[in-house]
Amino acid sequence: MVTGIETAGLVLAVLPLIISALDHYNEGLKPLKDFLRWRAVIRTLAVDLLTQKVLYRNTLEKLLGGLVTDPVSLALLLEDPFGIGWKNEKLHGELKRRLGNSFNVYVENVTDMAALVCSLEESIGLDTRGIPRWSDARSHKKAWKKFVMCLSQKQHESILSRMAQTNRNLKNLTKDSLDLEPSRLGRHRGTDPFRKIRDHAKCLHKMLRRGWCCPCTLVHSANLRLETHNTETVPSFRVLFPSASESSPIRSMQTTWNETLIRPLADDIWPDMDKHLNSVENTVSRSLASLTVTDASSRVDICSSTLHLSSKGTSTASQAHFPSTLATLLRKEKKKVAWASTAEAKLELESSGQAGGERIPNPSLNEASLRTDTTIISISNLCHAFKDAHYKGEGEKCLGHLTGDGGPLVVYVTGQHSPSTALKTVTLRDVLTQEMAPSLGECPEVPPSTPKFRLKLATTLASTALQLQTTPWLNSSWDSNDVLFHTGIAAHPYITKSFNSDVNQTEEPVKLAEPSPVRNRSIFNLGVLLLELCLGKPLDHFRTPEDSSIFTDFCIAKRLVENLAEEVSSGYADAVKACIYCDFGREIKDHSFDNDAFRQAVYEYVVTPLEDDWRHFNRM
């Protein structure tokens, strides 16, 4: 039985034969008296068929794009329609998944195209080689007469018209399926795709609270970068820490800003050591001149094929991954190895990154990491750790690790801004209103409120709502004053948290229940942020005397959202409406973040459409 995908290949195969046959007819007509009469007609037919063939081929190429990633394999499919590639069951399944509920109607259109091609083939009178039968015997004019009848009755025009319409159907079905594919994939990620990120964010907050245990009177804070994390990988966090000297009379002039990367120490966040072991060993072999072992009972051997760290209770790197060795070092004190003064080592391990998102390198194991103490120290006091960081401005410097219930989190300093180049902070509200502080008037780093900036930020904020709600990082009352930008790194939004020992930062103040049309305050506030980004102004800018004094924000948002479709895409408008009205379908009864179904609905109704808009914007 011929499948839909094989039928698609059949059309690709037969169309060139028909075009070739028409060329044969033109050659055969030369000695006949009606040559001039039909030559132009056949030529036009050949050009029209070639056009339909190219359109059909382009549509198939778009449909197969991404499913057949190898350019050679894709070319073989398109150039060899009878090849074995068209019988591939895996490809058939991938096409069925991509087309979704359009699969059956797509196959019907391909079948119609094949029927039209075969009908035209029969009218022309092709043999199995694609050559007109009459051209082999001058006396045999049956096929020619049949074709002339087809031409005279303009049957070919009807066939071409139907082929053109079928091609348009296939093109539209392909485009719609490709546009819908990201959201379809998002719906199948499973419930609560951000649970892992949210759990790690909670652990990070707890560990930071424990880390600020110094007796100094300074207010310690952490600025967490907001990002659209990959939900399939172990999350890492970019955090900006200000540190200052307690004795400074003017604290703002003595503030040093530390950019950090914080990530779990786990085997699955490191590259496959089997792939990188050889390059690591070669680097070590070239760089190390000698080793001085401080304990005679331990030894370090560097071999051509394996890196041995031999001592009591340890195994070779060929038997276990390097990160496992690091994890062991965190739990157990090891023998100390001192590098000779002539040795210079720098091991660079980079992560593979992800499609469509920001590439975050794995922390390098540079000279700073390869200290005389082979353990990664535990950070007991963050305030002192940052004062003693002495970042040199290259790569990542391992500061140590934080301990907690979620396992160790390793802190790497990736950048540092000295007091002379201290960062200045603006809020999203400042960006929208351009009401910058006088000291920021000459700062070119303030992010421009362009359509691209606003759409990217909208996508990030929607993702943030699911990543950080129910964590201490994000309050339900968040608004444009909580989203911060720092000059010098203004392309990235942040939220900030202060860590004071006398204040419980993990709980919001309890408020008495008040009657309100807002079902979920955090999601409503997300809708307001999306509205403000779309319109380029804060919500209160649109206040009118008619707005209720009790539910002012809701009244303004409700009025603005009704005309939003004129300003943005339908996907963006629908996402805002879902947030403002907290309408995620009749089946959602509990509109709290404790409900898995509610979180999944927010992902499908809000995050996915905005991600689709962002991808479409970047393709333009």
State the pLDDT at residue 280.
43
Helix (H) or strand (E) holding 171: helix 155-187
Place of tokens 């071999």: 303
CA distance 256 to 416: 7
CA distance 242 to 255: 6
CA distance 380 to 211: 6
Q: What's the gap between Cα 22 and its chain centre?
A: 49
Place of tokens 């720098």: 346
CA distance 339 to 528: 57
Residue 127 has pLDDT above 90, yes or no: no
For residues 117 and 18, the answer to whether their CB atoms sit within 8 Å is: yes
State the pLDDT at residue 458.
94
pLDDT tens digits, 573-605: 999 999 999 988 878 888 888 888 898 889 988
DSSP 365: B
Q: Greater confidence, 422 or 116?
A: 116
State the pLDDT at residue 448.
64
State the pLDDT at residue 399.
85
Q: Greater confidence, 348 or 587?
A: 587
pLDDT tens digits, 246-269: 444 444 446 788 889 998 875 333
Percent of the chain with pLDDT over 90: 14
CA distance 616 to 620: 7
pLDDT tens digits, 436-449: 444 444 444 556 67
308 forms beta bridges with 301
Lowest-confidence range among 65-69, 246-250, 365-369, 551-555?
Answer: 365-369
Q: Which long-range contacts (CB under 8 A, 24 or more apart) does 571-574 make?
A: 571/609, 571/610, 571/612, 571/613, 572/455, 572/458, 572/530, 572/534, 572/609, 572/610, 572/613, 574/605, 574/609
Q: Shortest CA distance to 60 belongs to which of 136, 173, 156?
A: 173
Place of tokens 């660079």: 348
CA distance 496 to 379: 21
Helix (H) or strand (E) holding 547: none
Residue type, 316: T
What residue segments make up the domains of the chain, in order of their start? 4-187, 266-375, 451-504+514-619
Supply the mean pLDDT for the chain.
Answer: 70
pLDDT tens digits, 34-58: 555 666 777 777 788 888 888 988 9
Alpha helices for 188-253 (secondary structure H)? 195-211
For residue 300, report the phi and psi dihedrals to the nearest 5 degrees.
Answer: -125, 120
For residues 243 and 226, the answer to whether their CB atoms sit within 8 Å is: no
- The helices-and-strands tally (H runs, E runs) of the chain is 18, 12
Residue 396 has pLDDT above 50, yes or no: yes
Residue 607: which residues within 8 A CB-CB, separation 6 or more? 186, 459, 462, 463, 466
State the pLDDT at residue 65.
82
Q: Greater confidence, 119 or 238?
A: 238
CA distance 463 to 493: 13
CA distance 266 to 323: 7
451-504+514-619 topology per CATH = Transferase(Phosphotransferase); domain 1 (1.10.510)
For residues 362 and 350, the answer to whether their CB atoms sit within 8 Å is: yes
Helix (H) or strand (E) holding 286: helix 273-287
Say whether 413 sits in a helix, a strand or coil: strand
For residue 509, report the phi and psi dihedrals to the nearest 5 degrees.
Answer: -60, 140
